[in-house]
Amino acid sequence: MTKDDDLLVIEDLRVSFPGKGWRAAPNEVLKGVSLNVRRGETLGLVGGSGSGKTTIGRAVLGLVPVGSGGITFAGERIERATGRRRRLLSRDIQVVFQDPYTSLNPSLTIGDTLSEPLRAQGQGRAGARRRVGDLLERVGLPADAASRLPREFSGGQRQRVAIARALAIGPKLIVCDEPVSALDLTTRKTVLDLFLEIQERTGVSYLFVSHDLAVIRYISHRVAVIHHGEIVETGEAAEVTTRPRHPYTRNLLLSAPVADVAGQRARREAFERAYAGPNTSAER
Amino acid sequence: MSETPPPAAARRSGAARRVLRNPLGLGSALVLAVIVAAVLLAPVLSPQDPDLASLRDSFGGPGPGHPLGLDSAGRDIASRLLYGGRATLGGAVLAVLVALAAGVPAGLLAGYRGGRVDAAANWVVNLVMALPAMVVLLACRAILGPTVWVLMVVLGLLVAPAFFRLVRGIVAGVRNELYVDAARVSGLSGTRIVARHVLVVVRGPIIIQTALVAGIAIGLQAGLEFLGIGSGSAPTWGAMLNEAFKNIQRAPGMIVWPGLALGLTNASLVLLAAALRDALEDRGTPPARRRPRPPKAAPPPGGEPGRAGLLSVRGLTVAYALADGRSKQVVHGVDLDVRAGEIVGLVGESGSGKTQTAFSILGILPEGGHVGAGSVTVEGLEIVGLPERAHRALRGNAVAYIPQEPMSNLDPSFTVGAQLMEPMRHRLGISRAEARRRALDLLRMVEITEPERVFGSYPHEISGGMAQRVLIAGAMSCDPGLLIADEPTTALDVMVQAEVLGLLRRLQRERGLGVLLVTHDLGVVADVCDRVAVMHDGRIVETDTAEQVLSDPRDPYTRRLLGAVLDHAPARAPWQPAAEETV
Amino acid sequence: MLNFVARRLAAGAVLLFVISFLSYLLLSVPHLDVGRQLLGSGAAQDLVDAKNAELGLDRPVPARYADWLAHAVRGDLGTSWFTGEDVRQAVGTRLPVTASLMIGVLLVTAAVSLLLGVWAGVRRGPADRLVQMLGVAGYALPGFLVTLVIVVVFAVRLGWFPAIGYTGLTESVPGWLSTITLPVLSLSLAGVAGVSQQVRGAVIDVLRQDYVRTLRARGLPPSRILFRHVLRNAAAPALTTLSLQFVGLLGSSVLVEQIFGLPGIGSMTVTYTTRGDIPVIMALVMVTVVLVVAVNLVVDVLIGWLNPRARSV
């Protein structure tokens, strides 16, 4: 099954969370998800809130327990990896979270935050400090940022720090969980371009989670659309975002407004036509 | 200030220095230090043996060799005070150590692990907390006999929940922070995460709590001794108070010294805790709450050429009062018009001042914010400088508000129906039945399919999209002519957003509403806005029809904004296998 | 809601059972030779053994506990080993004293804390600083020290109230008032210090909520927003603090009753515990825990009534 090019393969992944309250039925958020990410590829994962898109990323990172199914990374099954093994995997699998304000410890300097993964992998203090300088330069932050606290930086700059932390130990895969949705429009583009540039330079793969089809289309080679815990459609970015096959994808595309009055009018009309149809169940 | 010192060291010494720079912190630390030193040096400082009695001299006043006088048995009060502090403070220290040893690790474990460990620990703690300490100590005294140190261990266990609950609460919060997840992904082990990320956060609160618990322990220890249950004949502050209280008629002054010792120690501990809290939280003084001066008389309303009848803003400035008494301007002279039957987009990025502009039109700026100058007319009525009561009469009736976050803008304690009916009954003075009928009509108007069910639901029982419809219904309830919508769809999924925008568009057409739509999303602008004002750094940089601004922007900032839109950027090309392995 | 109350009641019953068992276990530690204590050190060993057997102390602890429990659930708390009094009667005559004290304290604490907390939270500025200082003072001074000061000032110096003694409510209402006022005052000071801070914090918190801004934008007057929306949402945390404070106040009542010579549960605890009179001590522990559980239950039900989300959890 696993081809040589595949870095990450997820097969029939199921994840449930315990229900709220006593004896409540567990809530299945992933109902058998299968996908793969190749070396140097960006797989965009798009879906609405509560679709389970974030859970897939967290399962790959080992932050949520996997119910059943397999996660294979570089030929190795990792869905049940624990303790030591998981810590070694952190060399290869990294993360950039959505919220640049809570993903950095407010009481640690940027330098401390960036050297954390290096030190955890056994690097010496001096080596770590040198590497921190390189990292800051690579994400376009001034070198004196290392001695400052996160609160002195804007959202976009913090997200650069988070990217630098993910890059620190040269991972093969970075899980990007809505990394630009908390950023302003103008900052968003520059951060996305940074992601692209880093990928070209290092050949890292991204599992890029977002609710925004325009962002996904810009950054991804391939796109997977998730709805209610199931992948409904997968394909090349241009294909999925211009000629969607699944009705859910079609609605997703038609409901995302474009910044162009004539274009949006056409989209709005198409959306209302599609919506007047039989399946008006966007909201339960 | 000019150089950057090694930051970690700077921060650590900073907290201690801030405590000592605070007069209360310095004072209480000094008093505590003096008390502890005096008690430790009791053998050196006391004029005589604390138990040496001379009945002849009982109740003797201060004199040579007896600076504070003598008690009922003719013992030297000063000596007993110094020695008494040993039992009282020593007991409290023991109790605090036991409480720390029991409470902190349990709290760390329960908070970090969660789940069953947490549930079990909480159960035990709730049990301990249902026990009145004094009663338990007395019961223990009955079993264990008058061994004050053992009682202090029990006391420590009884107050351990104070630490447990504190630590558990903070740790459970930190555990869900993304930076802890990030540390886990970085390959840090559980113990290292606790040491590096969690202990840092709980350290300060634990120190503060220690001072408070020490005060409680001293109080309880002295209370036990006061009841005559404890170390028997050895001097303690509590026993001295008891003795003084028994002789209150004969020598009322005797109660002063042990009372003072106890009061001073406890007060210093609590004040030190307060100073520590201020230092660790680095709290600035809150902004001075002055009643902002009403801005200068605005130009005469209406009649002016070019001003819209429904909403017209001219030269609006908004400023916030700073802690040091100055004020900071965030909106610098905004001009804006909304006519009946049109949707105007107010577009900008975070910090551009768009929401401040919207809030000042509604007169709901947060604490410290005020309109500095300019003119705002709603239906021809000048509202800058209008008394609050008159301005309130406009809200809901003439101008209504649709907020950004649907969930946090509904009161969780009332049903949707109650929240819809309240403004109508209050503003329109209609009967309960009439309000109910209208509320159900409103819910139908915002395209809610089961109005009866939603009417009786609490906010936490409905979805975000539903809640936003309810808020729109609420805004429409007193039939306003102008809607101010502050990012009304930002928190919603795109499909729900499309529906809600469609609804807004429909309402505006059917009722001839004017809408000021605050947004950062140019797609939303293209979808529903007739005209747009682009805002940047507290100024409007460009105003025109949506078509004009989106297709042919003139201001460089607008151009930059549109340049960052990804709608028409080409999709990324398909993936190609790497020619060679890159490392 | 009924379901919610039933669950709370069940939890309270479990708590009572566990505490009674643990207390009994602890109180029955073997080194406490009750027969010897009763008969004196000079008594012959066989007489001591016979006394112990008479009290049932030769049987294993679980059996004795089962026995005690079986009687206790029927309201029979046994007789005192040392005085032969019927424990239920002894406790029964003293409970009204403590109950009237605690009810007074709860009412005064709740009312004054609400006023001060809302005042500080809404007005901020000097009012706020005053209430915060009161909080620090309440924490800083041990409750019984404050009580002593109150006695010295109001009873000994000014002579406005009697320093000690108690008149039942049924005997004379003015007499009851004059004997209960100072004890209630001394206990309430500590309670007010803690609870008013919580009310203040909760009011400030709720005032910052988005829905308060939205209510303002709907044109509702500030008084209506405050009384209908802010107070209701701020009540839950404040009530929780009140129920936590109650446990501490119940403990402090031991000292206060002792100082004012009130014939309540607290002063009874002091007298009887020094002797190791297990039936009496068990009864006292159970009565205090029942009081705590009852107050917690009332507070939980109130919170559930005020806050729809608390009900469903």
pLDDT tens per residue, range C252-273: 888 888 888 888 888 888 887 7
Domains in chain B, please, with CATH?
A: 22-52+73-280 (1.10.3720.10), 412-474 (no CATH)
pLDDT at site B401: 94
Whether C312 and chain A come into contact, CB under 8 Å, resolves to yes
Which chain A residues are Cβ-neighbours of C312 within 8 angstroms? 21
pLDDT at site B281: 62
Instruction: Give the number of other Cβ atoms within 10 Å of residue A30's Cβ.
Output: 27
| Subunits in contact with chain C (3 or more CB pairs closer than 8 Å) | A, B
B354's tokens? 């768009």
Q: Which residue of B has its CA nearest to C221?
A: B392
Backbone angles phi, psi at B187, to 5 degrees: 95, 15
Instruction: Give the torsion through C-alpha atoms of C64, C67, C71, C72, to 10 deg.
Output: 50
Write the burial class of residue B297 (CB in 10 Å: 0-12 exposed, 13-18 middle, 19+ buried): exposed
Residue B182 to residue A106: CA distance in whole angstroms = 13
Would you give per-residue pLDDT tens digits along chain A (284 residues)?
Answer: 445 788 999 999 999 987 665 566 788 899 999 999 999 999 999 998 889 999 999 999 998 989 999 999 998 999 888 778 888 888 899 999 988 888 898 888 899 899 988 888 888 888 888 889 989 988 888 888 888 888 888 888 899 999 999 988 889 999 999 998 888 888 889 899 999 999 999 999 999 999 999 999 999 999 999 999 999 999 999 999 989 999 999 989 999 999 989 999 999 998 888 776 444 444 43
For residue C123, is pLDDT > 50? yes
Nearest to C182, CA basis, from C291, C256, C248, C128 = C256
Range C171-175, long-range pairs (CB < 8 A, 24+ positions): none
Nearest to B29, CA basis, from B279, B346, B325 = B279
Question: Is the C-alpha dihedral spanning A77, A83, A85, A89 positive or negative?
Answer: positive
Distances (CA, A) of B397 to A96, B386, B391: 46, 16, 11
Q: Which residue of A has its CA nearest to B467?
A: A283
Please give the residue that has the higher pLDDT: either C287 or A209: A209
For residue B519, is pLDDT > 90? yes
B383's tokens? 């509202």
Please give the residue that has the higher pLDDT: either B461 or B140: B461
Q: What is the pLDDT of residues C12-57, one digit of tens each?
A: 888 888 888 888 887 776 556 667 777 776 777 777 778 777 777 7
Backbone angles phi, psi at B483, to 5 degrees: -110, 135
Among A95, A117, A255, select the one facing B495 at the smallest CB separation: A255
Write the burial class of residue A278 (CB in 10 Å: 0-12 exposed, 13-18 middle, 19+ buried): exposed
What distance in Å separates residue B177's CA from the closest CA in chain C?
A: 22
Q: What residues of chain B, 555 to 574, have a C-beta less than 8 Å from chain A?
A: 560-574
Whether B119 and chain A come into contact, CB under 8 Å, resolves to no
Instruction: Give the number of other Cβ atoms within 10 Å of residue A134's Cβ.
Output: 12
C96-312 under CATH 3.30.70.360, yes or no: no
Distances (CA, A) of B265 to A225, B217, B270: 65, 12, 9
Q: Which residue of A has its CA nearest to C7?
A: A22
- CB pair distance less than 8 Å for B179 and A102: yes
Distances (CA, A) of B137 to A227, B154, B155, C281: 60, 7, 7, 12
pLDDT at site B578: 67
Angle CA(B296)–CA(B302)–CA(B307) in degrees, nearest 5?
Answer: 95
For residue B295, is pLDDT > 60? no
| Subunits in contact with chain B (3 or more CB pairs closer than 8 Å) | A, C
What was the ipTM of the complex prediction?
0.86
pLDDT at site B192: 85
- What is the reported pTM? 0.82
Residue type, B471: L
Please give the residue that has the higher pLDDT: either B306 or C102: C102
Q: How many CB pairs under 8 A join B and C?
A: 209
Q: What is the pLDDT of residues B163-222, one digit of tens each?
A: 998 899 888 888 888 888 888 888 888 888 888 888 888 888 888 888 888 888 888 888
Q: What is the pLDDT of residues B219-237, one digit of tens each?
A: 888 888 888 776 666 788 8
Which chain B residues are Cβ-neighbours of C151 within 8 angstroms? 245, 248
Instruction: For residue A234, give the 3-state DSSP assignment.
Output: strand
* DSSP at A122: T
What distance in Å separates residue C257's CA from the closest CA in chain B?
A: 11
Q: Which residue of B has its CA nearest to C137?
A: B267
For residue B9, is pLDDT > 50? no
| Domain ranges across chain C | 2-72, 96-312
Which chain C residues are Cβ-neighbours of A21 within 8 angstroms? 312-313
- CB pair distance less than 8 Å for C210 and B219: no
Q: How far apart are the first and last CA of chain B?
A: 43
Report the run of H or E that residue B536 belongs to, with start and end: strand B531-536
Q: Which residue of B has its CA nearest to C211?
A: B409
Whether B215 and chain C come into contact, CB under 8 Å, resolves to yes
Residue C163 to residue C148: CA distance in whole angstroms = 10
B240-259: average pLDDT: 79
For residue B279, is pLDDT > 50? yes
- CB pair distance less than 8 Å for A217 and B569: yes
> Dmax of chain B from CA atoms?
106
- CB pair distance less than 8 Å for A203 and B463: no
Report the run of H or E that residue B371 belongs to, with start and end: strand B369-378
Weakest-pLDDT range from A55-59, B311-315, C275-279: C275-279
Instruction: Give the number of other Cβ atoms within 10 Å of residue A269's Cβ.
Output: 11
Whether C3 and chain A come into contact, CB under 8 Å, resolves to no
Which chain C residues are Cβ-neighbours of A20 within 8 angstroms? 313
Residue A200 to residue A42: CA distance in whole angstroms = 11
C58-65: average pLDDT: 82
- CB pair distance less than 8 Å for B573 and A252: no
Which chain C residues are Cβ-neighbours of B218 within 8 angstroms? 142
What distance in Å separates residue A20's CA from the closest CA in chain C?
A: 8
Whether B115 and chain A come into contact, CB under 8 Å, resolves to no
For residue B98, is pLDDT > 90? yes
Residue C45 to residue A263: CA distance in whole angstroms = 105
Nearest to B315, CA basis, from B290, B298, B293, B328 = B298
Cβ atoms A71, A247 nearer than 8 A: no
pLDDT at site A218: 94
What distance in Å separates residue A17's CA from the closest CA in chain C?
A: 17
Q: Which residue of C has its CA nearest to A20?
A: C313
Angle CA(C152)–CA(C153)–CA(C157) in degrees, nearest 5?
Answer: 85
Among B401, B411, B413, select the one facing C217 at the smallest CB separation: B401
pLDDT at site B297: 47
Residue B9 to residue B25: CA distance in whole angstroms = 21
Residue B534 to residue B348: CA distance in whole angstroms = 6
Using pLDDT thresholds of 50, 70 and 90, give the confidence band for residue C60: confident
- CB pair distance less than 8 Å for A99 and B178: yes
Instruction: Give the torsion through C-alpha atoms of B237, B242, B247, B252, to 10 deg.
Output: 50
Q: What residues of chain B, 321 to 360, have a C-beta less than 8 Å from chain C?
A: none
Whether C41 and chain A come into contact, CB under 8 Å, resolves to no
